[in-house]
Amino acid sequence: MKRAVEIGLPVLGMLLGLAGCQKGPVAPVLHPKANGAALVESSGGRQAGFVGSPLDQPVVVQVNDAQGNGVAGALVSLTAAGDATVTPATGLTADDGTFTVNCQLGGVSGRYRIVATTWDKQGKAITLNLDEIALGYQQNLGRQLNEKYCSRCHNQESTVERVSNYDNLATKPHSFNDGNFYNTVNDADIAAIITYGGAARHQSAEMPSYGGTLSKSDVDALVSYVRAVSDPPYHEKGMTYARQ
């Protein structure tokens, strides 16, 4: 019996040591150094990306005081719907009042809502909703086709890779996320405009035909992409928000 006790104690000590190692450090509790009166989006809302992937740009929110000035050291917490994630989920604002997070989209196509929260001096929660868009395979193909064939005219902003042609056109094309326009046009008419040109559906003749360039499945992918990124959202069919 004595020998068994002598053998057991070292084993018990080793197990206790392992248990202590597994516990790990305790995360610090953040305490705000200041409070704001408003919470606004700085950048990163309404981005679109392939399901399950990180967004190209970070999401940036800003805590302001009553005069609209950024508040440093304010506590911000963010939650994402479903299996989307934001990192870090909690933190203090920088000197300019901004708080920056990275977002990874969930595994189901649709819109994922991110809710950002800060608190005023009385402890009242101030919230801000931001939507991010997870594209399925067909919708993501449409996004790629848009970048290759459409965005030069339908996007006003120039990039290093693409110089916008928007300002050179007499009739300004609608951005593909312009739900106020595209939500009033049915799928068949959008497909016809892409395939046969704007004049086919009484739109601008400056819109060329792409029927000789794009297959029917390509055109369907572009229509699907337009529906996915619509603002306000397109509600006729399918999911608007993923995994609420």
Q: Which domains does the chain have, with CATH numbers?
A: 38-135 (2.60.40.10), 138-229 (1.10.760.10)
The residue written with tokens 């794009």 in the block is 214
Count of Cβ atoms closer than 10 Å to residue 150 Cβ: 19
Tens digit of each residue's pLDDT (9 = 90 or more) over 31-85: 999 999 999 999 999 999 999 999 999 999 999 999 999 999 999 999 999 999 9
pLDDT of residue 16: 40
Overall size of the chain counted in residues: 244
| Residues 81, 115: Cα–Cα separation, whole Å | 8
- Under DSSP, the state recorded for 117 is E
Q: What is the mean pLDDT of residues 149-167?
A: 90
Phi-psi region of 167 (alpha: psi -120 to 50; beta: other; left: phi over 0): alpha
